[in-house]
A and B are shown apart, each in its own frame.
Chain A
Amino acid sequence: MTDIVETASVVAVPKAQEPRIVEMTRFGASGSRTLAISILTGLLIIVAWWTAARLAVVPRLFLPTPQDVLTQFRLIFNDGYAGASLGEHISASLFRILTAAAIAITAAIPIGLLMGLSRWAKGILDVPIEFYWPLPPLAYLPLMIIWLGIGETSKVTLLVLAMFAPICLSAQAGVRSLPIERVNAARSLGASRLQLFRDIVFPTALPEILTGIRIAFGVGWSTLVAAELIASNRGIGYMIMSASHFLATDVVFVGILIIAACAFVFGLAVRLLEALLVPWKGRL
């Protein structure tokens, strides 16, 4: 037999104050806000820098104060440096990296997807890509200069090669993450091969491709500055190089900060693009 233990409803007690809102205890840093901590850390680093320079822990020649750098930035902004205005230096660098990025992205996405799909494409292209991409780009920069001259072509080609590999490899990984059920679903809806490629394979690989593009920009900036240090008469890297010849550390600092700012903006742009294009990432 069944005993009915309790059927009465719980009597609601009127609340005197706001209820205490609780949530599950978290583990790890994901999801929590770090912006305030990051800003504070940034300020602390500047204060530490300022103090070290003021107390002359390191000679002024080697470590300028933040004010020195700011003054120098204004001077370069107004008068230019090493035969070109600041705008010309920055736009020379941006032109190289953006041209290279456009070419690398346009070529690497279809080639990477194809390598993920076709035995022949993978078999043929794996050999040259696996051979060249672990090489440091500066190792083959001399060859680029000998073959393509000292002008823009050699630098842009170097950057394209450096940026191509991460995008291409991530597109391949994206195809590998494609579940067979998704392909079958599309085929039973009557998708042709082209429709399957454009409407199913490409969007599936898109999150991985965007990650690849972020990595490519990281590689791109380091390669760009290194290439400009060696063979150029314009660009932020060149500015840093020529300043170092005169021990102008404040100019070197200006150059480094400009590169950091550019790289930061690029990273932010790709992340915004991610939020816009693949809002489902990690959720399904």
Chain B
Amino acid sequence: MLKIERASVYFKTDQGRIVHALDQVSLDIPEKGFVVALGASGCGKSTLLNAIAGFLPLSEGAITLNGRSVSAPGSDRGVVFQKDTLFPWKNVTDNVALGLKFAGVSKAERTRRCEALLDLVGLSDFARAFPYELSGGMRQRVGIARALAADPDTLLMDEPFGALDSMTREQMQELLVTVWKQTGKRVFFITHSVEEALFLGTQVIVMSPRPGRIVARYNLDFVQRFAETGDARAIKTSSDFNDLREDIRTLLHGGQDARSAAE
């Protein structure tokens, strides 16, 4: 279990103003769970992910993964970033294998595992290509393969498809579901797209800014239905999907209207 207990984060801006980025957030992500954090920018979702990844200490509260306290980055939590952070001097295979190399895994074993992972994300033909030769979607697939290489417990994804065009984005969502089903990883995923959140998550948490906190939680089965039927369009056009999407939109926009009225 990945447990986040009453996590709060306070920043200080360069002007010396104190920002309450995360307020008393509690969240449990079970094994094989796929939790999506949804919200407008500034709602603290990236702050939460950075804290789970160990890039940012908490002001208050605690994060534990399988009972062990999280305080620094580690290879038990693979991270996929919004901006692709592939290393431009390494080809696709060496990028994917880097974590294994850091861990001292032998070259033959690294190659074997990379081949399997590139196969999983559909990039077998590009093993020797360099990042600057790939499209945005392909780079993010390499990013996913790289995050999975060290066989982490949890996959943390910070708006990984935010910079992709809408067609590539839908392909990547379906690919991610396949990968998630095959590897059985725990996933924490950030997005500001309502549709993406509903389609991917077994649980969706809606967050709201100033201070960043969870305002709604939904347990969903759309992703399960997609895994069984393979028909994404049928799910995304179904009435319960559409109704929920409109509900959440109202929740997000309503929050904004109320705030601007108060200001």
By a CB distance below 8 angstroms, the chain B residues around A283 are: 88, 132
> Which interface class (under 10, 10 to 19, 20 to 34, 35 or more) fits A?
20 to 34
Tell me whether A181 and B85 are in contact (CB under 8 A): yes
Question: Which of B54, B75, B85, B99 meets A182, CB within 8 Å?
Answer: B85
Given A190-B150, A192-B102, the answer on whether A278 and B55 have CB atoms closer than 8 Å is no
Confirm or deny: A184 has a beta carbon within 8 angstroms of a beta carbon on chain B: yes
24 cross-chain CB contacts under 8 A: A179-B83, A182-B87, A184-B79, A187-B55, A188-B53, A188-B54, A188-B74, A188-B75, A188-B77, A188-B78, A188-B79, A188-B147, A189-B75, A189-B78, A189-B146, A190-B103, A190-B150, A192-B102, A195-B102, A199-B102, A278-B89, A283-B88, A283-B132, A284-B86
Smallest Cβ distance from B143 to chain A, in angstroms? 9
Confirm or deny: A185 has a beta carbon within 8 angstroms of a beta carbon on chain B: yes
B142-161 residues at the A interface, CB under 8 angstroms: 146-147, 150
Confirm or deny: A200 has a beta carbon within 8 angstroms of a beta carbon on chain B: yes
Tell me whether A184 and B87 are in contact (CB under 8 A): no
Q: A189-B102, A190-B74 are in contact. List 7 more A-B contacts (CB 8 A).
A: A184-B73, A187-B72, A188-B75, A189-B98, A190-B150, A195-B102, A284-B88
A153-193 residues at the B interface, CB under 8 angstroms: 179, 181-182, 184-192
Smallest Cβ distance from A194 to chain B, in angstroms? 10
By a CB distance below 8 angstroms, the chain B residues around A147 are: none
Confirm or deny: B81 has a beta carbon within 8 angstroms of a beta carbon on chain A: yes
In the bound complex, CA of A184 to CA of B54 (Å): 9
By a CB distance below 8 angstroms, the chain A residues around B57 are: none
What residue in chain B is nearest A192 (Cβ atoms)? B102
Smallest Cβ distance from B70 to chain A, in angstroms? 12
By a CB distance below 8 angstroms, the chain A residues around B87 are: 182, 199-200, 203
Interface SS of chain B: loop
Tell me whether B132 and A185 are in contact (CB under 8 A): no
Smallest Cβ distance from A276 to chain B, in angstroms? 12
Contacts across chains A and B counted by CB atoms under 8 Å: 68
In the bound complex, CA of A184 to CA of B84 (Å): 12
In the bound complex, CA of A215 to CA of B109 (Å): 43
Confirm or deny: A280 has a beta carbon within 8 angstroms of a beta carbon on chain B: yes
Tell me whether A181 and B81 are in contact (CB under 8 A): yes
Confirm or deny: A28 has a beta carbon within 8 angstroms of a beta carbon on chain B: no
> Which interface class (under 10, 10 to 19, 20 to 34, 35 or more) fits B?
20 to 34
0/1 per residue, B95-132, Cβ < 8 Å to A? 00011001100000000000000000000000000111
A227-284 residues at the B interface, CB under 8 angstroms: 278-280, 283-284
Smallest Cβ distance from A72 to chain B, in angstroms? 48
Residue of A179, A185, A206 with highest tally of chain B CB at under 10 A: A185
By a CB distance below 8 angstroms, the chain A residues around B77 are: 188
By a CB distance below 8 angstroms, the chain A residues around B55 are: 184, 187-188
Smallest Cβ distance from B233 to chain A, in angstroms? 20
In the bound complex, CA of A199 to CA of B89 (Å): 10
Tell me whether A189 and B131 are in contact (CB under 8 A): no
By a CB distance below 8 angstroms, the chain A residues around B102 are: 189-192, 195, 199
What residue in chain B is nearest A196 (Cβ atoms)? B102
By a CB distance below 8 angstroms, the chain B residues around A284 are: 86, 88, 131-132
What residue in chain B is nearest A191 (Cβ atoms)? B102
By a CB distance below 8 angstroms, the chain A residues around B72 are: 187
By a CB distance below 8 angstroms, the chain B residues around A190 are: 73-75, 99, 102-103, 150
In the bound complex, CA of A280 to CA of B86 (Å): 12
In the bound complex, CA of A74 to CA of B203 (Å): 85
In the bound complex, CA of A6 to CA of B150 (Å): 54
By a CB distance below 8 angstroms, the chain A residues around B83 are: 179, 181
Question: Which of B54, B74, B85 meets A185, CB within 8 Å?
Answer: B85
By a CB distance below 8 angstroms, the chain A residues around B79 are: 184-185, 188
What residue in chain B is nearest A278 (Cβ atoms)? B89
By a CB distance below 8 angstroms, the chain A residues around B103 are: 190
In the bound complex, CA of A280 to CA of B54 (Å): 30
0/1 per residue, B63-79, Cβ < 8 Å to A? 00000000011110111
Question: Which of B78, B86, B89, B147 meets A203, CB within 8 Å?
Answer: B89
In the bound complex, CA of A203 to CA of B98 (Å): 14
By a CB distance below 8 angstroms, the chain B residues around A185 are: 79, 81, 85
By a CB distance below 8 angstroms, the chain B residues around A206 are: 89
By a CB distance below 8 angstroms, the chain B residues around A187 are: 54-55, 72-73
Smallest Cβ distance from A284 to chain B, in angstroms? 4
Given A181-B85, A195-B102, the answer on whether A188 and B131 have CB atoms closer than 8 Å is no
By a CB distance below 8 angstroms, the chain A residues around B99 are: 189-190
The 7 A-B pairs with the shortest beta carbon distances in the complex, nearest first, are A190-B75, A189-B99, A280-B88, A187-B73, A185-B85, A283-B132, A284-B88
